[in-house]
């Protein structure tokens, strides 16, 4: 397998190269979850395996919920949103169901991992998520891939799973990842935004889950491109342009960026400090904005809309960074305030995941960002 060197992927105008197809898998890639230690509980019982949502094998062509909005794309089109929800219902059920099953496995419910693998295997066998896509469909593809990859990462070490099913799922995840890479490969620097970050984190999750270092390298190089957009004030200009939803989209962008930095850290690369600790500036600015959105309102000239929180879903980046900086009092305070943390596209209930994972991460390093996190 040809592995791209991340050290050569640092110029602002340069996109990470498409990873070469893997003839074999590298081993011992560090997981952001470490090793999940499960003790099956008799009280939890085997549970019932729900029916797998029908694999989505159609073209991924969906309306945008901001259809007809202006350049800021911050005005919801309720009719388009309803049509989007109806068209993507099967995909939403797949993401949510997989996340719940993998959470049940972490909590010790027997057979939950096997059930989750059956779901993944059925979608793999149908070659789901491989169809043509419009812009919204490309977003849905990478979100669903991220949910599937993180769920697979959580369950794959469970005892008794069928090796042939795991192999089929790994192959399918890499195939879908290849499409996502192609769709985001030529994104120019001036157009990188949250969609690119989510593509990168999905590819990274597939890389770690399938032990494919070329995919992980692509995602971490994508992180390096991404954090160059964070300015001296800790803002992302492309997300600030969302005007009334600028704070909301900064929160949304922070989720994949922190997970990408953690993927680097547990594989011996301190991405938290990249670009003069740009992520630190973003974390600080967003945390202040959650407490008082007036700065974002001043910069955008619009009152901030926060339909989804802030809560443990919007703040799901907190326990990830708290794991990297366990002695940071402010992160711990945020953890106490917003828990439980859950995001189906980043690993489900991270409060539960981190409660059941080993703190021993053989490839991990201590990030220097913990000393520069807050102004």
171 three-class SS: helix
Is 284 a domain residue? yes
pLDDT for res 10: 32
> How many CB atoms are closer than 10 A to CB 78?
8
pLDDT for res 296: 98
Is 259 a domain residue? yes
Q: What is the CATH number of the domain that holds 202?
A: 1.50.10.100
| 228/369 Cα distance (integer angstroms) | 16
The position carrying tokens 């492309």 is: 238
pLDDT for res 1: 27
pLDDT for res 112: 95
The position carrying tokens 């001036």 is: 190
Q: Is 260 in contact with 320 (CB distance < 8 Å)?
A: no
Is 31 a domain residue? no
| 175/178 Cα distance (integer angstroms) | 5
Is 27 a domain residue? no
pLDDT for res 23: 41
| 197/8 Cα distance (integer angstroms) | 20
The number of domains in the chain is 1
> How many CB atoms are closer than 10 A to CB 313?
17
Domain containing 195 equals 39-371
Is 78 a domain residue? yes
> Using the 8-state DSSP alphabet, how is residue 169 labeled?
H
Question: Containing H/E element for 84?
Answer: helix 78-87
pLDDT for res 247: 97
pLDDT for res 16: 67
Is 11 a domain residue? no
| 340/326 Cα distance (integer angstroms) | 17
Note down pLDDT in tens along the chain; length 375 residues.
223 333 333 333 456 666 764 443 445 899 999 888 766 555 556 678 999 999 999 999 999 999 888 788 888 899 999 999 999 999 999 999 999 999 999 999 989 999 999 999 999 999 999 999 999 999 999 999 999 999 999 999 999 999 999 999 999 999 999 999 999 999 999 999 999 999 999 999 999 999 999 999 999 999 999 999 999 999 999 999 999 999 999 999 999 999 999 999 999 999 999 999 999 999 999 999 999 999 999 999 999 998 767 899 999 999 999 999 999 999 999 999 999 999 999 999 999 999 998 877 888 999 999 999 997
pTM: 0.92
pLDDT for res 358: 80
Q: Is 266 in contact with 30 (CB distance < 8 Å)?
A: yes
Is 15 a domain residue? no
Is 128 a domain residue? yes
pLDDT for res 36: 81
> How many CB atoms are closer than 10 A to CB 305?
17
């Amino acid at each position: 397998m040809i592995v791209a060197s991340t050290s050569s992927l640092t110029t602002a105008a340069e996109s990470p190269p498409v990873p070469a197809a893997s003839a074999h898998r590298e081993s011992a890639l560090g997981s952001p979850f470490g090793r999940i230690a499960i003790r099956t509980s008799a009280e939890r019982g085997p549970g019932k395996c729900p029916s797998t949502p029908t694999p989505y094998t159609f073209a991924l062509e969906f309306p945008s919920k901001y259809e007809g909005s202006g350049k800021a794309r911050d005005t919801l089109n309720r009719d388009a949103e309803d049509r989007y929800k109806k068209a993507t219902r099967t995909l939403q059920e797949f993401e949510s169901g997989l996340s719940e099953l993998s959470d049940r496995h972490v909590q010790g419910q027997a057979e939950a991992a096997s059930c989750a693998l059956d779901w993944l295997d059925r979608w793999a066998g149908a070659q789901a998520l491989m169809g043509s896509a419009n812009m919204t469909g490309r977003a849905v593809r990478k979100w669903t891939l991220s949910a599937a990859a993180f769920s697979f990462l959580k369950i794959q070490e469970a005892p008794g799973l069928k090796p042939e099913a795991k192999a089929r799922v790994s192959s399918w995840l890499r195939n879908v990842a290849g499409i996502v890479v192609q769709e985001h490969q030529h994104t120019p620097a001036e157009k990188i935004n949250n969609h690119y970050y989510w593509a990168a984190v999905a590819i990274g999750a597939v890389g770690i889950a399938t032990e494919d270092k070329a995919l992980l390298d692509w995602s971490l190089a994508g992180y390096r491109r991404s954090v160059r957009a964070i300015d001296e004030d800790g803002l992302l200009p492309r997300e600030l342009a969302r005007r009334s939803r600028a704070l909301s989209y900064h929160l949304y962008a922070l989720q994949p960026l922190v997970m990408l930095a953690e993927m680097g850290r547990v594989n011996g690369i301190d991405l938290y400090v990249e670009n003069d600790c740009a992520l630190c500036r973003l974390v600080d600015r967003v945390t202040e904005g959650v407490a008082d959105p007036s700065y974002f309102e001043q910069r955008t000239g619009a009152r901030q809309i926060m339909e989804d929180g802030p809560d443990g879903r919007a703040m799901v980046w907190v326990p990830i960074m708290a794991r990297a900086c366990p002695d940071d009092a402010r992160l711990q305070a945020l953890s106490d305030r917003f828990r439980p943390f859950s995001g189906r596209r980043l690993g489900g209930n991270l409060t539960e995941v981190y409660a059941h994972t080993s703190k021993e991460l053989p490839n991990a390093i201590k990030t220097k960002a913990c000393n520069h996190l807050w102004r």
